[in-house]
Structure 1
Amino acid sequence: MDNPVQAFRSGRLEQVAKALERNGFAATVVPDENAARELVLGSIIPELVAQGAKVAAFGGSVTVVHSGVYEAVKAHPDLEVLDTYDRTDPAHTLELRRQALLSDIFITGTNAVTEDGKLVNLDGTGNRVAALAYGPRNVIVLVGGNKVVADVDSGMRRIREYAAPVNAIRLDRKTPCTKTLHCEDCSSPDRICNSWLVTAKSAPKKRIRVVLIDAEAGF
């Protein structure tokens, strides 16, 4: 075999997809971020619009931006978009995040996905985990293969020791982890680690659609 590492990673993602489906999620494996965008814009969103979806919103996600899904959804002619990524007016952004909890389509990432098909997330203001748990009629989650972990404990460790410090650096937060490069369980006003959520099942079934990207994507 020419690329056994790729074959291993692809096979692992297919196993994760099956585990997610056993837990009530819809799950699809795609080869890269471009394919993820094509799936979301060419298949998933048209299906949801045909079912009556009118309003879309976002949870914070580097993958949603880097894949081009964010810009493409903003330009969609059949959707009203609550642009929660627009930070021009913080008070308005906060209000949009509240409104996003009643959107028809909520698009976000996840900090980790376990081999037995659970999503693990840690949030700053809580809007992303709140929407995953309840509110939006449909949730689309984009996740890179680099975020697959063995179990929930491994996912929480990955978030504390890698994803959270990297995101704090990205957001230019004044937290200890940006210097020490690991979680200090701080009390900084800039702390981004406030609300945990483990999504063990999708309820209702297939409300949450997970797009597994067979490549490194996001943190």
Structure 2
Amino acid sequence: MTVQAPVVDETFAKPADEAQLDRAAEALRGNGFTVHIVDTVTDARELVLSLVPADESVFTASSETLRLTGITKAIDESGRFDSVRAAAGDLGDDPTAHIRLGATPDVVVGSVHAVSEDGVLLAGSASGSQLAPYASGARKAVWVVGAQKIVPDVATGLRRIRDYSLPKEWRRLHENYGQTSFIGKILILEREAFPDRGVVVLVRDSVGF
């Protein structure tokens, strides 16, 4: 049986311009998020590592953005941080253990699939493993977001998840592991209630999907 990959809408790969970044940053701040804008993935990695306390548990969400910036490796393999993944060791084939692993860390570091110009974050997931700490499980959340993820509004953000992020993840899993993906859950973060909890690092470079 032939497995047909979903079509990728490459218009969502175009990075936002400076005006769009500024609008998104201003709106995010108005919605209670702390925002940093950096130039490169190297800048993003250095900033994130400076924001993560060495003495608190930190969970790295599964993310191509974190992998490509080197953040996942730096947190989980360097020995400098109290990594939830490193401490857990081999969880075997128990899917529930993997899903619940990072539900309540002190800090979660991850990404989202879209940020609207009116300051809303959107993240899609098959299992939802990263969504619990994103929403409220973690005391602090840090999201690294490439400029190509800026969209005009929530409706376009939802379309980006379905027409760009999902097809890209589908292909990644199929090419590397012979698996596919789907959207099981979508989290929409409109406002952060607690000061300094939610930190968004916007990168002028395109990174992740």
Normalised TM-score (structure 2):
0.82
- The Cα offsets for residues 55-77 of structure 1, whole Å up to 9 and x where unpaired, read as 11121210111101111112454
Distance verdict in 2 for CA 1:149–1:82, change over 3 Å: same
**What SS class does the counterpart of residue 101 from structure 2 fall into?**
helix
Q: 1:199 aligns with which of 164, 185, 189?
A: 189
| CA apart distance, 1:190 | 5.0
| Maintained 8 Å contact 2:105/2:133 | no
Structure with more relative contact order (C-alpha pairs < 8 Å, separation 6 or more): 2
Q: In the TM superposition, what whole-angstrom CA distance separates every residue of 1:77-126 from its partner, at most 9, and x where no partner exists?
A: 453212289887232x7425413111111111101000011001211101
Could you tell me which of 89, 94, 98 is aligned with 2:92?
A: 89
Unaligned runs of 5+ in 2: 1-15
Q: Within 5 A, what are the aligned runs for 1:1-219? A: 9-41=17-49, 43-45=50-52, 48-49=53-54, 53-83=55-85, 89-91=92-94, 94-172=96-174, 191-219=181-209
Secondary structure at 1:89's aligned position in 2?
coil
The TM-score with structure 1 as length reference comes to 0.79
Say whether the 8 Å CA contact 1:30–1:213 is kept in structure 2.
yes
Gaps (5+ residues) in structure 1? 1-7, 174-188
- Structure 1 consecutive aligned stretches of length 4 or more whose deviation exceeds 3 Å: 75-78, 84-88
- Computed over aligned residues only, the root mean square deviation of the Cα atoms, in angstroms, reads 2.4
Percent pairwise identity: 29
Equivalent residue letter for 2:119: G
Q: Which residue number in structure 2 is paired with residue 181 of structure 1?
A: none
8 Å contact 1:36–1:213 — kept in the other structure? yes
Contact 2:113 2:149 (8 Å CA) reproduced: yes
Amino acid of the structure 1 residue aligned with 2:184:
N
Q: Which residue identity is paired with 1:159?
A: I
Q: Distance in 1 between matches of 2:109 and 2:90?
A: 18
